[in-house]
Structure 1
Amino acid sequence: MSNSTDKPILLIVEDDRGLQSQLRWHFEQYETVFAENREEASTAVRKHEAAVVIQDLGLPPDEDGVEEGFRCVQDILRLAPHTKIIVMTGKTGHEHAVTAIGMGAYDYYQKPVDPNALDLIVQRAFHIHQLEAENRRLQEVQQQPLNGLITNDPAMLKICRTLEKIAPTNVTCCILGESGTGKEVMARAIHNLSPRAEQRFVAINCAAVPENLIESELFGYEKGAFTGAAKQTLGKIETANNGTLFLDEIGDMPLNLQAKLLRFLQERVIERLGGHKEVAVDVRVICATNQNLETMVAEGTFREDLYYRISEITVAIPPLRERCGDKVLLARHFKRRFAKEHNQIINDFTPEAISAIEAHNWPGNVREMENKIKRSVIMADSKMINCDDLGLRPSNELSLNLRQVRSEAEKAAITQALSMSDNNISTAAKLLGITRPTFYDLIKKYELKVAEH
């Protein structure tokens, strides 16, 4: 947090006024803020967001003990997990200092205070805090393989490589995925990586425009083409000339309009409604849908020739529930974004909230998460977002037990091998790279029933 002197803020939690004065005089290079008890310390952390805190473990009303000091360490780290706390103890307080470090404190110093020695510890703490903040920033950059896309999931990273390859070309591609998976984000990434990046990116949602208006929206119209057409109006296709046209939810495009779109994709010319002049348009076309176009072709609700024309390259985006590690990654990204937008100080999610985020199925995908995190940032009463803020039920279902994960993976692999080999034990064992006796042991272990031929 900025301050009037622009000096780094050093919070000192100490009730000895004489020592306060000594430390204030010595740490002139910092903006020193003082707190005399746990409550004042929590208030100061909320207000000043100090990167480094010097804290006496003996705080009132327990000056001779350490329990209040321990609670203060826990309070500060709960409010600001990245804060570097340097605890001060008496000569016999080594064991207590080690306990505080186990709670998350950065370092300790034994009284009596030698300001020069303490100065070195404080300087190093500020330096480490700065390095860690930069490392978090770089990690966030690495988690954006394409501008606007946040992921660590191997399947999504593979998709990113695909987009990088097709972006420089003019190939028409179709992005498939459930609603809210980020199809428009992908389309914009293709546009931004293409030679057309400086030109317009024009999007139209085919499902959001009434059927009787979508043709004029796409192709434009001449003056007097219909009642109310007071002037010549360019359509989305012509507006996107030299740029990129994104046809979202193309599966909802009316059949009669599909033929006209197909002609444009083949000839790259359009005719405005009420006009007789062909207009050449140079545009990159990207389509997207949450529907199964192959099924629609079979049912006769989507033109087969158009399907093949828009599917020169298809990219299938996995739903959020199938993306490994992306749930919490995205949650933290949205948390930072909305906290900044709404001027809220939010440090992180509670462990229970993290578990709830991981356990939730996210039927609305990234869009649902974006909405829930925005709500939670607004509703949060503290710097830690909890399950109530998110509107999610606490979950005990999340399991990171390695033995359980291995067992489930092993069982799934055996089941798949049996299915692929049509329950032939020898073939299944070979597929898994194990011997028949080992395979039988695993079948017995997981109580699987095998109908051998």
Structure 2
Amino acid sequence: MHVTIVDETTFVTEIAHRVLLSMDAKTSLAGSLHELPLIFETSGLPDLMIVNVTNDLTGWEVATCLQRAGYQGRLLAFVDGDPADSRIRHLTQLPNAECFALPTSPTLLEDILRKAVPGTTINRTRSPSTTTTSASEYHGIIGVSPQMRSIFARMDKVAAGDVNVCIHGESGTGKELIARAIHYASPRRDRPLITLDCTTIPEGLMESHLFGHVKGAFTGATEHREGVFSLAHTGTLFIDELGELSPPLQAKLLRVIQAREFFKVGGSKPIRTDIRLITATHTDLKTAVARGTFRDDLYYRVAVFMINVPALRERVEDIPLLINHFLRKFSATYGRPAMKIAPSSLARLSSLPWPGNVRQLENFLEQAVVLAEGDTLVERDLVIDDFSSTFGASAHPAPAGQQFEPGLPLSEVERRHVLRTLQKAHGNRTEAARLLQISVRSLQYKLKTYNRDADATPRAHRGLLPKTAAP
């Protein structure tokens, strides 16, 4: 589930973000209505909108903005005042809008969100066997391999303090889960955990998202906005894909880490910050330092404590545990009896390289649960000839010299070329971007677009599993 939150304050954002994280929902945060078109362009239309309608907003402004963007999904509007006030009557005329008086108590707001956001009922009705933490789980992270046990031990050691942590691993290995586990095992567990994904924010808005801006700082800055350093004050700030930051922003981030203070864009007053910083990257920052694309002084500040997350193919013994975990999860989600997997199917899945790591395995199993005819996954549930998803395409390179068939749309030619180049670079996005002669940020946008297109493809036409090469 994808949820976008529009909040000019920190009250709704902090609580809604915490509730949605507990439901494994993807969240996008907007500090004002003016940011929505850009967020919709980069992340797509969400399944749910949560809007804090402050005194500076009117229902007409919110309704007009959503209608122009073509959003027709569900809307939860929290109104600072009486929900029946004429100021927000335009909101009540939207087909899927629900208006609530903004509670003064965080507990009441959290209770409203848990009751209103879809998916919480399923979590509450799961059997104890699906929610009890076992010896193979650490804060929701599955693993018994020596590599994961070593990571769990390192997490235990680092959680108690405030040292900066840098998590390195391929895309889909669970870096954000590790960051979240460290936060909730730390003394700051009751304070905010704010996430910023550097690949989803356009370069021109990154500084504003980091530090906030004052009214009039730039064209379109019609109100004050808080950045993630303000939102995460006294809590934890998790910056994902840190290696994508531009050199000027690297310098400003370094100053904040050293001085523990920052300036809003257009502001002249220093603002103190008390945060625990956790970063993640799929690129090798040491190599980036050697190439001159990442500051060495910033590297030594953020990588005080390093955690290297292994790829799924490097911890094969964890695959059966992950498969059983996801089968339980998606069986409950889709109201099916607890599904099992045949031994031959389990062996086949365990032998695959899974270039998209745990995320790819999870997506594959969700689709398999939806399409399976029985209560046990067998070979016919796993093998589909037309494997058209992103990772399957990259795992299926065309033979040398093969040409694209005539009549293909240019967008499809580009998609196949990009994915084959990524496969040639062994999943290294920086190297793939160099070969394609585009920026890493542009490549990230393209890959996210391909994933959205795959999600929109009718299930009957999707492939689920890459074919293994004949011996």
TM-score (norm: length of structure 1): 0.55
SS at match of 1:204: strand
Q: Deviations over 1:254-306 (max 9, x none)?
A: 11100000000001101000000000010000000000111111111001100
1:200 is matched with 192
Is contact 2:130-2:328 (8 Å) kept?
Answer: no
Is contact 2:139-2:181 (8 Å) kept?
Answer: yes
SS at match of 2:237: strand
Q: 1:219 aligns with which of 211, 217, 223?
A: 211
Please give the alpha-carbon distance, in whole angstroms, between the structure 2 residues aligned to 1:175 and 1:390: 33
2:294 is matched with 302
Structure 1 letter corresponding to 2:375: K
Deviates more, 1:266-275 or 1:317-326: 317-326
Please give the alpha-carbon distance, in whole angstroms, between the structure 2 residues aligned to 1:328 and 1:175: 25
Superposed counterparts of 1:74-153, under 5 Å:
141-144=134-137, 146-153=138-145
**Structure 1 gap ranges (5+):** 1-132, 394-453
Is contact 2:167-2:308 (8 Å) kept?
Answer: yes
Q: Deviations over 1:83-122 (max 9, x none)?
A: xxxxxxxxxxxxxxxxxxxxxxxxxxxxxxxxxxxxxxxx
Q: 1:281 aligns with which of 267, 273, 276?
A: 273
Is contact 1:174-1:315 (8 Å) kept?
Answer: yes
Please give the alpha-carbon distance, in whole angstroms, between the structure 2 residues aligned to 1:305 and 1:206: 20
Is contact 2:215-2:223 (8 Å) kept?
Answer: yes
How far does residue 345 in structure 1 lie from its aligned partner after superposition?
1.5
Is contact 1:379-1:389 (8 Å) kept?
Answer: yes
Please give the alpha-carbon distance, in whole angstroms, between the structure 1 residues aligned to 2:148 and 2:306: 14
Q: 2:164 aligns with which of 165, 172, 177?
A: 172
Q: Deviations over 1:113-171 (max 9, x none)?
A: xxxxxxxxxxxxxxxxxxxx99x779961111x21101111110111011011001110
The CA RMSD measured in Å over matched residues stands at 1.8
Structure 1 letter corresponding to 2:185: L
1:155 is matched with 147
Is contact 1:346-1:382 (8 Å) kept?
Answer: no
2:178 aligned with 1:186: yes
Is contact 2:331-2:339 (8 Å) kept?
Answer: no
Superposed counterparts of 1:187-336, under 5 Å:
187-336=179-328
Please give the alpha-carbon distance, in whole angstroms, between the structure 1 residues aligned to 2:151 and 2:366: 27
Give 1 or 2 for the bigger CA radius of gyration: 1
How far does residue 328 in structure 1 lie from its aligned partner after superposition?
1.2
2:349 aligned with 1:354: no
SS at match of 2:194: strand
Q: Deviations over 1:294-326 (max 9, x none)?
A: 111111100110011101000000001111411
Please give the alpha-carbon distance, in whole angstroms, between the structure 2 residues aligned to 1:321 and 1:268: 40
Please give the alpha-carbon distance, in whole angstroms, between the structure 2 residues aligned to 1:295 and 1:392: 39
TM-score (norm: length of structure 2): 0.53
Identity of aligned residues (%): 41
Q: Deviations over 1:152-203 (max 9, x none)?
A: 1111011101101100111001000000000000000000000110111100
Is contact 1:187-1:246 (8 Å) kept?
Answer: yes
1:345–1:206: structure 2 CA closer, same or farther, 3 Å change rule?
A: same
Flag the structure with more relative contact order, 1 or 2, with Cα contacts below 8 A and sequence separation at least 6.
2
Please give the alpha-carbon distance, in whole angstroms, between the structure 1 residues aligned to 2:383 and 2:167: 31
Is contact 1:346-1:377 (8 Å) kept?
Answer: no
Please give the alpha-carbon distance, in whole angstroms, between the structure 2 residues aligned to 1:140 and 1:331: 16
1:340–1:222: structure 2 CA closer, same or farther, 3 Å change rule?
A: same
1:140–1:361: structure 2 CA closer, same or farther, 3 Å change rule?
A: farther
2:363 aligned with 1:371: yes
SS at match of 2:256: helix
Structure 2 letter corresponding to 1:157: R
1:138–1:372: structure 2 CA closer, same or farther, 3 Å change rule?
A: closer
Please give the alpha-carbon distance, in whole angstroms, between the structure 2 residues aligned to 1:324 and 1:281: 42
User: What is the aligned residue count?
Assistant: 259
Structure 2 letter corresponding to 1:141: S
Please give the alpha-carbon distance, in whole angstroms, between the structure 2 residues aligned to 1:390 and 1:256: 48
Is contact 1:373-1:390 (8 Å) kept?
Answer: no
1:7 is matched with none
Structure 1 letter corresponding to 2:241: E
Please give the alpha-carbon distance, in whole angstroms, between the structure 1 residues aligned to 2:131 and 2:211: 44
Is contact 2:144-2:317 (8 Å) kept?
Answer: yes
2:331 aligned with 1:339: yes
Please give the alpha-carbon distance, in whole angstroms, between the structure 2 residues aligned to 1:387 and 1:180: 25
Superposed counterparts of 1:364-403, under 5 Å:
364-391=356-383
SS at match of 2:226: coil
